[in-house]
Amino acid sequence: MTSLNNSGLQKTVAVIGGGPAGLMAAEVLAAGGLQVHVYDAMPSVGRKFLLAGKGGMNLTHSEPYDDFLTRYGARRPQIAPLLEQFSPDALRAWVHALGIDTFIGSSGRVFPTDMKAAPLLRAWLHRLRQAGVGFHMRHRWLGWNEAGALSFDTTQGPLAVRADAVVLALGGGSWARLGSDARWVPLLAQREVPLAPLLPANCGFEASWSAYFREHFAGHHLKSVAITTTDGDQPAQRKQGEFVITADGVEGSLIYALSAGLRDRIAASGSALVYLDLLPDWSLQRVTDEVARPRGARSWSSHLQSRLGLKGVKTSLLRELVPAADFGQPLLLAQAIKALPLTLLAARPIDEAISSAGGVTFEGMDPQLMLKALPGVFCAGEMLDWEAPTGGYLLSACLASGRAAGNGVLSWLR
């Protein structure tokens, strides 16, 4: 079905930003009979999507849908209606229709069988081109000109484009070199679009390591540890997993999973205290008993290794954070092994983060994701004000919001 405008021409939609959210909007719009043009500042689309594929492309999660929704925290009421239009099951069916098989990993995460993003993106772009979607690379959107047309900077010079509707899918604020550089923020702020500040999400944190520890242990993984975060004097959240020591602090999956709370705690109090449990499967009593056994002539390191299996970076972290005098007192040492205090000082810069929080607020849009301040302009993807942990929740909501924005345009143009 082709949709015509008042001049009898096929209606045109400009999708600006060729990440997963923009491409999904383009797919819905082309299927709805519209002429769709995708513009992107970079030489090719989907660069962050491809990067996501490098470490194993986690498309979505197979956990019960109610648990899935909880991952969007305070934004659950806004994200749930979007996911109703494109559920985790629908996402998997969509991937299968592109000729890519998926599997569920032991953690419940869903991956393409080959773990890669490139074959999926290739098949998707092929299908979009066949549906008539036009692609315009190296077109940086600069806002609107005085006549109200979309304004682009291109390799051929400035370009003004008119469209019957616009989908903005410009990404968040991390990994600027892949295109999502957040230069859209002032363009929308000028138009009185309500925005929440962009903040790092799924990010690392800074800690104050000694020069010796940094030099010898940056890059070392701590496996099978638990972290308890605190809120004032109270424990807040406990999670088990693994993380990595960096030159500046800590990063990795366990840290990312706790990062929203840690970031907010640091913003409120200047730092965040966490307790590391280096032996989460051992009780304090058992650790105390083992530590208290006679050490003989052995060093502390070999005593802890032979009695508890503690070695390498775990023992060095104890040395780094526990006062030397406490090593002589079994109970204090055992308590440190089970709850080693570490102060995190700052979130790492947003550009290093896996994703960002903040962006266009849901209050500034109607339920179809059209900006109240700019009728006919819709938004999708990570540029909206929500956040979620890693685990496929990011792509799930980006794709679902792209679909919702596409459907929103279709009903608005009708």
Ligand X SMILES: Cc1cc2nc3c(=O)[nH]c(=O)nc-3n(C[C@H](O)[C@H](O)[C@H](O)COP(=O)(O)OP(=O)(O)OC[C@H]3O[C@@H](n4cnc5c(N)ncnc54)[C@H](O)[C@@H]3O)c2cc1C
- Residue 107, both tokens: 């953690």
42-101 positions binding ligand X, by CB under 6 A? 42, 45, 47-49, 51-52, 55, 57-58
Q: How many residues bind ligand X (CB under 6 A)?
A: 39
> For 246-295, where are the E strands, in sequence order?
249-251, 272-277
Which candidate, 187, 141, 177, places its Cα nearest to that of 22? 141
Cβ of 346: how many Cβ atoms within 10 Å?
18
- Residue 101, both tokens: 């098989």
- Residue 377, both tokens: 């302009």
**Among 251, 382, 385, 387, which residue interacts with ligand X (rule: CB under 6 A)?**
382
27 near ligand X, rule: CB under 6 A: no
Query: Helix 76-85 to helix 393-413 angle, to the nearest 10 degrees?
Result: 70
**Among 173, 358, 364, 392, which residue interacts with ligand X (rule: CB under 6 A)?**
392
Residue with smaller CB distance to ligand X, 27 or 382: 382
Beta bridge partners of 222: 243
Which candidate, 59, 50, 63, places its Cα nearest to that of 95? 59
d(CA 348, CA 351): 8
288-347 positions binding ligand X, by CB under 6 A? none
d(CA 330, CA 247): 31
Give the angle 44-85-106 at the CA atoms, nearest 5°: 75
41 near ligand X, rule: CB under 6 A: yes
**Among 183, 214, 216, 220, which residue interacts with ligand X (rule: CB under 6 A)?**
183
Question: Smallest distance, Å, CB 412 to ligand X?
Answer: 21
Question: Smallest distance, Å, CB 150 to ligand X?
Answer: 10
Question: Smallest distance, Å, CB 359 to ligand X?
Answer: 9
Question: Smallest distance, Å, CB 364 to ligand X?
Answer: 17
141 near ligand X, rule: CB under 6 A: yes
39 near ligand X, rule: CB under 6 A: yes
Return residues touching ligand X (CB under 6 A).
Answer: 16-22, 39-42, 45, 47-49, 51-52, 55, 57-58, 140-141, 169-171, 174-175, 179-180, 183-184, 354-355, 381-382, 392, 394-395, 398
